[in-house]
């Protein structure tokens, strides 16, 4: 969190809630001070942080800024005083206009399936680090034969082009992956360094090949597997449940797929923590609070939103076939985070509550 000039502060957008204040935050490199400063900046206030942090501010290139996670990663990086350049396939930033820093942050249009464009863009920007959030994320549509070439081009080839470009400028790279690289059998939580991959669906297959492209190209990489993602900027299960609940008294939700959800706002903090280090390798990262089912997540979402909707628990088989098979055991063991000195994410119930308030669902 570096001190900013008057000109830099003038670029910080005014949050929709209005009144701006200027706050001097001591201990801004510690957990509480950092969260306070980040929240102030997110609301459009001025936070002048003081404290010590190893290393200099970095230039971070973030793909997929028009999606859920990229939006929050850029905000988090800027909130700490890093220089963040967001990128996506749209001509201009296409995410929510929520008044946060990402809306006016530097943005570059880039189709990651265009190898020459990826190389030229990254060579020109010369980031210290790349956080690669862009992906084809429509899991069922990925099964359609007519989409498979595109899914592969984005999730595998695009990821490889980014890894090659990172290598050519010696940048660190952080790639987001998924629990879907595993087959979901048994009840044992998956370890970050497990190698018995066996994806059940095409999306999972391409995310795995993306992992292999990163690990086969780079030494300075982080591969972070996440699951059941929800964020302000995009579609997700919680938003769908809340919308359905507005017109239905009861919903059927599967109760035999077990995992933990991930709030992008919380994850973004961890990802920027990671990229500031050289603790490369494989990690699992979701919110804490124990393993749950989709039905548990639906119930908690209704409770947090103050909605009276009955959740009827069904098995995946009872729910009916979806195009893509999904793993029953999505338990991701996250203990490596603490072992490596990273702060884990907050409890998932707390995350759901904050998300529903923030997204005004
Ligand atoms: N959403 C989940 O439940 C989930 C679960 C596990 C892992 N992940 C992984 O986490 C990461 C972030 O997920 P998210 O939910 O924020 O995704 P998202 O779908 O919200 O955003 C993905 C972004 O990638 C962009 N994109 C797609 N094709 C592109 C191309 N050719 N060139 C440039 N940009 C392109 C899209 O425009 C979009 O803005 C992804 O790598 C995803 O695979 C997501």
Q: State both tokens at 250.
A: 């009861």
Residue 253 within any structural domain of the chain? no
Beta bridge partners of 132: 63, 175
Residue 38 within any structural domain of the chain? yes
Are the CB atoms for 115 and 161 separated by under 8 Å?
A: yes
- Rg over alpha carbons for the chain, rounded to the nearest Å, is 20
Q: State both tokens at 353.
A: 């509550």
Structural domains in the chain (count): 1
For residue 152, what are the contacts with CB-CB under 8 A and spacing of at least 6? 206, 209
**From 161, 203, 263, 355, active-site residue:** 203
Q: How many residues are there in the chain?
A: 361
Are the CB atoms for 99 and 15 separated by under 8 Å?
A: yes
Active site residue 203: yes
Please give the pLDDT value at position 191: 98
For residue 242, what are the contacts with CB-CB under 8 A and spacing of at least 6? 301, 302, 305, 307, 356, 361
Q: At what angle do helices 237-245 and 294-305 cross, to 10 degrees?
A: 60
The closest-lying atom of ligand 1 relative to the alpha carbon of residue 134 is 24
Residue 337 within any structural domain of the chain? yes
Q: Is the CB of 113 under 6 A from ligand 1?
A: yes
Q: State both tokens at 50.
A: 């003081």
- 180/160 Cα distance (integer angstroms): 19
For residue 27, what are the contacts with CB-CB under 8 A and spacing of at least 6? 33, 50, 51
At 275 the three-state DSSP class reads: helix
Q: Where are the beta strands (DSSP E) in 52-98?
A: 59-63, 83-88
- 313/295 Cα distance (integer angstroms): 6
- 340/318 Cα distance (integer angstroms): 41
Query: Which one, of 67, 175, 72, 61, lies nearest residue 120 by Cα?
Result: 61
Q: Is the CB of 96 under 6 A from ligand 1?
A: no
Residue 85 within any structural domain of the chain? yes
- HSE-CB of 124 using CA atoms within 13 angstroms: 9
Residue 358 within any structural domain of the chain? no
- 37/41 Cα distance (integer angstroms): 6
CATH classification at residue 166: 3.40.50.720
Residue 125 within any structural domain of the chain? yes
End-to-end CA distance of the chain: 31
Whose Cα sits closest to atom 18 in ligand 1? 67
- The alpha carbon of 21 and the centre of ligand 1 are apart by a number of angstroms equal to 35
Q: Is the CB of 238 under 6 A from ligand 1?
A: no
Residue 90 within any structural domain of the chain? yes
Please give the pLDDT value at position 49: 57
| The model's pTM | 0.88
- 8/236 Cα distance (integer angstroms): 34
Residue 282 within any structural domain of the chain? yes
What's the domain range around 214?
A: 6-230+261-289+333-346
**Measured CA angle at 207 (ends 319, 58), to 5 deg:** 125
Please give the pLDDT value at position 28: 59
Whose Cα sits closest to atom 44 in ligand 1? 229
Please give the pLDDT value at position 335: 97
Q: Which residue has the tokens 């592969």?
A: 152
Edge-to-edge, what's the strand order for the sheet holding 221-226?
Answer: 107-109, 83-88, 59-63, 129-132, 172-178, 221-226, 281-284
Are the CB atoms for 176 and 231 separated by under 8 Å?
A: no
Please give the pLDDT value at position 27: 57
Query: Which one, of 205, 201, 210, 199, lies nearest residue 112 by Cα?
Result: 210
Q: Is the CB of 88 under 6 A from ligand 1?
A: yes
Per-residue pLDDT of the chain in tens (361 residues, 90 and over written 9):
445 555 554 554 444 345 667 676 665 555 566 666 667 666 666 666 554 444 479 999 999 999 999 999 999 999 999 999 999 999 999 999 999 999 999 999 999 999 999 999 999 999 999 999 999 999 999 999 999 999 999 999 999 999 999 999 999 999 999 999 999 999 999 999 999 999 999 999 999 999 999 999 999 999 999 999 999 999 999 999 999 999 999 999 999 999 999 999 999 999 999 999 999 999 999 999 999 999 999 999 999 999 999 999 999 999 987 899 999 999 999 999 999 999 999 999 999 999 999 999 8
For residue 334, what are the contacts with CB-CB under 8 A and spacing of at least 6? 283, 284, 285, 286, 288, 344
Q: Is the CB of 134 under 6 A from ligand 1?
A: yes
């Amino acid at each position: 969190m570096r001190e900013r000039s008057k000109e830099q502060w003038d670029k910080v957008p005014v949050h929709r809630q209005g009144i701006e204040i200027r706050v001097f935050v001591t201990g801004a490199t510690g957990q509480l001070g950092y969260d306070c400063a980040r929240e102030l900046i997110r609301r459009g206030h001025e936070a002048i942080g003081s404290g010590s942090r190893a290393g200099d501010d970095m230039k971070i290139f973030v793909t997929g800024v028009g999606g859920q996670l990229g939006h929050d990663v850029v905000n988090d990086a800027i909130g700490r005083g890093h220089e963040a350049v967001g990128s996506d396939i749209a001509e201009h930033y296409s995410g929510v206009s929520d008044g946060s820093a990402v809306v006016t942050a530097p943005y570059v249009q880039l189709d990651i399936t265009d190898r020459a464009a990826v190389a030229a863009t990254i060579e020109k920007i010369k980031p210290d680090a790349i956080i690669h959030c862009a992906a084809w994320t429509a899991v069922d549509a990925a099964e359609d034969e007519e989409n498979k070439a595109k899914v592969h081009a984005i999730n595998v080839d695009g990821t490889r082009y980014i890894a090659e470009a990172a290598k050519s400028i010696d940048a660190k790279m952080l790639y987001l992956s998924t629990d879907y690289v595993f087959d979901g059998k048994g009840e044992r939580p998956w370890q970050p360094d497990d190698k018995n991959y066996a994806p059940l669906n095409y999306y999972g297959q391409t995310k795995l090949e993306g992992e292999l492209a990163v690990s086969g190209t780079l030494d300075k990489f982080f591969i972070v597997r996440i699951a059941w993602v929800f964020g302000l900027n995009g579609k997700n299960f919680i938003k769908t449940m809340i919308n359905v609940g507005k017109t239905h008294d009861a919903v059927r939700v599967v109760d035999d797929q077990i995992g933990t959800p991930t709030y992008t706002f919380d994850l973004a903090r961890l990802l920027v923590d990671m990229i500031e280090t050289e603790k490369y390798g494989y990690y699992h990262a979701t919110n804490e609070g124990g393993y749950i089912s989709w039905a548990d997540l639906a119930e908690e979402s209704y409770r947090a939103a103050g909605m009276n909707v009955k959740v009827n628990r069904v098995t995946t088989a009872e729910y009916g076939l979806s195009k893509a098979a999904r793993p029953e055991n999505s338990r991701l063991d996250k203990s490596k985070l603490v072992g490596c000195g990273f702060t884990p994410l907050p409890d998932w119930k707390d995350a759901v509550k904050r998300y529903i308030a923030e997204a005004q669902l």
